[in-house]
Structure 1
Amino acid sequence: MKVGIIGATGYGGLELVRLLSSHPAVQEIQLFTSSEEGISFSAKYPHLTTLYDQPLEAITKEAIAQLDVVFLGTPSGISGQLIPEIYNEQTVFIDLSGDLRLKNIENYENWYGKKAAPQGLVNRSVYGLCGWNDAAIKEAQVIANPGCYPTATLLSILPLLQKGLVKHHNIIIDAKSGVSGSGNKPSQMTHFTETTEATTIYKINQHQHIPEIEQAIELFTGKVEPITFSTHLVPMIRGIITTSYLQVESGVTEEQLYRAYEDVYADDPFIRIVPSVQKLSTNQVRGTNYCDITINLDARTNRLTVVAVIDNLVKGAAGQAIQNMNKIMGYEEQAGLKQVPLFI
């Protein structure tokens, strides 16, 4: 299989290279750029010297047509305009940006502040939340890879919402991410002196993942209520932890709640349910495609605390993109994704 990566020099692209390098079915990886054609990939990332010394290539429709799968790790606002220019019926397109996630393109323009992709392309795309949309994913040619925050949030609360064990209204989600989630373009917010020894809340009630989470809840449960979703930047490189607070329906026990996860994720190799713990850390999933989930029911308030941890660059981006590729191409779901967590 021949695959291509557009936006290869970003952190998502770099992680795709790392993971695809160990994929048993990937014969060739082509790396594309819109601005650095001819520059060696290892010149951008010296740790890949002798491994990926190949020059970055220009993006052309002819080159893309020779590939089985193309991953787009571009900033939001680019892939939605680029895919129509390079589209062909034989290549699978997996977009890691937010351009194809929101079905309402006015919502996209309001929340992202960018020009939306053509409605036809958005309609054709399939939301690639693995484990929840698999039937559609397997038949898809265009995948809208979920965002990192939505992946952790949705995987951890959807089983409870779908089975009617918790209320849909008044859902509060507190989410924290490492700095790599902001990409590799320097900014004041990600400057060392701004991030080290500090935790920063940002985009209060304005984060673009809010409508994505609400849309997915409606898609998979048939119900939707506005959520409260807060995001924080913490002084670490990798990782996301989401803490969600939900009101449990009357009479529901913690045993029933855990059984819901077991029913939904019994055959999912990447979801690990961790029962009865007082500690859950991003370290335990670092560098992997795992999502670890635990819950705690407060008998005093009948309120449930749901905690999930993922690696934002793997399960939250490149890893789930490869998982989607495996489903579409008929490979083992774990192909290229069997890494042991880098705890330290």
Structure 2
Amino acid sequence: MRASRLLSLLLLLQTRGRMTGQQLAEELEVSVRTVYRDVESLSAAGVPVYADRGASGGFQLLDGYRTKLTGLTGGEAESLFFAGMPGPAAELGLGAVLAAAELKLLAALPPELRSRAGRIRERFHLDAAGWFHEADRVPWLTEIADAVWNQRRIELHYQRWGQPREVTRLVDPLGIVLKAGKWYLVASAEEKIRTYRVAKVLDARITDENFDRPPDFDLDEYWRSWAERFEASVYQGEMVVRISPRGLARLPHLVAQPIARAALATAGEPDEDGWVRVVLPTESINHARVDLLKLAEDAEVLEPPELRADLERTIVAMAELYGAPDS
């Protein structure tokens, strides 16, 4: 542990130049006294580190000195896949190794490239979460990620949508997916590959049992196929709608993307008023009502008749609620 800290201290001085004892202590999460002891140890080992006293002083390396001890550990190399996602990396338990990996990479770069890398970090940021949604609470994500990497079976206590609400499953974890700020576990259970939302995991116990990954399993291919099937299973109904040009333009901002895509794909020729007939997928009458009310007077339901009648009842009730008082 101390050897790792000494290397981190050395790399900090190499990449950032002069740093105060307090700055080093904050970066390394130790006391200033520990920093002074570590600097003495580096000096005793022949590293040319010296201190400038005074208000603008601090520790720095002799000009021109560069260490070659910048090899990445396995964990740090793995974390580089998340270099643009510090939030998800921290949730997976890779925050510390990601920071160490970035420091080692910066130390290994010549000054010009190091400056360019710094500019990239200052100018680009990836925020994987969707708008207007709170992030899932995923207290078991780190344990699940560890089991995925080490191919260890997990006993999951899981909350389902259907009955029974809570179940226990022994699963072989094959991969983890981050989709619109939500974490999903892809795992094999009872000889079937299933998808579990990590936020619904109530408890996870990593067992001592290892498992063999299916040799032909491709996580990326599985996820694309599963996502397509999931969307198809959700949108099992259809509605035929007459929609204005303004409504068609607003649609992608008001409804789910599968519905907006269907509108563009099925739009017929505009009538004399510019309105078009579209066929839209829907989950249910209730979901369709909510989507169509967002469009207000820019959409008219043609089919099915029960949806048209439902909207009529809703609009009448709203008119009674908001109508002008009797004079």
TM-score between both structures, scaled by the size of structure 1: 0.21
- In our comparison, the structure showing a higher alpha carbon Rg is 2
